[in-house]
Amino acid sequence: MVASAILAVWFRIQSHEKDMIHGALFDLEGVLYIGDYPLPGSREALLSLQAAGIPMRFITNSTRLTRDAIVDRLAHMGLEVEIEHLFTPVVAARDYLIARQLTPHLLVHPDIEDEFADLLGPAPGAVLLGDAGPGFTYEALNQCFRLLLDGMPLLAMGSNRYFREGNDLSLDIGPFMAALEYAAELEAVVLGKPSTEFFLAAVNSLGLPPHDVLMVGDDAEMDVCGALAAGLRGALVRTGKYRHGDEPKVEPRGGRVFDDLDAVVDYIL
């Protein structure tokens, strides 16, 4: 009887340990801040996790700002993030191009063009697509289309449908990527969320198995479902670009839904 009781306690401890979260990934826009303002409780949430010894990484599909600019922007809002803890598609795209010795043809936002200046050349070997904003003109897209017809691969720094810009939603990379895929009859290589490799790069930097890490985001598909597909756990917060009715996208797959970051921190701890 004593041995059975000890064994039962051991199994409960093992089960509890298996369910514990040992690390966290956070999306930025819509989760920690909106526009130029931090969301209520975001700074306190990060400090609570830091005090509890929960390592964190920050993973964003933003392709309008460099990592330095993002870190500076967060600092102005009182959110301290170390640059090596920030994972962006711009860095992933540079690594991909360098590893394969590809010269890019850029359709990206002007503010990040300098990030690829050392990789440019007279004979591009790939089309690199970012959130070009007003740069998404017919002429620019048509030029990309013709290069793709010549056999170049399409590299997309994310596939989000839209993002929150102030109080409104705006088109993101996804619709333009889909148009080029359809026209050129090919499939893009996605270098940001929801790419499994993108999530695992952040997870590997924590030195943890994916199941021990929780991804927190406001995008049901790109953040939560993408993380779940990569073997992580996923939490959707009802802030940012969350829309009523997103719950069925994540809950059947094991994702959790929370009203705010306070509730997420309580769940983690």
CA 263 to chain centre: 21
Round to whole Å and give the CA distance between 22 and 49: 10
Last residue of a domain, one of 190, 215, 238: 190
pLDDT reported for residue 132:
95
pLDDT tens-digit profile of 86-102? 999 999 999 999 999 99
The H-or-E segment that residue 88 falls in is none
Q: Is the pLDDT of residue 194 over 50?
A: yes
pLDDT reported for residue 35:
87
Q: Is the pLDDT of residue 2 over 80?
A: no
What residue type is 59 in one-letter code? I
100 within a domain of the structure (yes/no)? yes
For β-strands 154-156 and 56-59, DSSP reports them as unpaired
pLDDT tens-digit profile of 150-172? 999 999 999 989 887 777 888 99
pLDDT reported for residue 4:
52
Percentage of the chain exceeding pLDDT 70: 93
78 within a domain of the structure (yes/no)? no
52 within a domain of the structure (yes/no)? yes
Report how many domains make up the chain. 2
Give the CATH number, domain containing residue 161.
3.40.50.1000
Residues of the domain holding 158? 90-190
Contact 67, 91 (CB under 8 A): yes
For residue 19, what pLDDT band results from cuts at 50, 70 and 90?
confident
Last residue of a domain, one of 162, 190, 218: 190
pLDDT reported for residue 15:
40
Same domain, 206 and 152: no
Last residue of a domain, one of 174, 190, 206: 190
Q: pTM of the entire structure?
A: 0.85
Q: Which two tokens stand for residue 247?
A: 């719950």
80 within a domain of the structure (yes/no)? no
Contact 170, 162 (CB under 8 A): yes
pLDDT reported for residue 18:
54
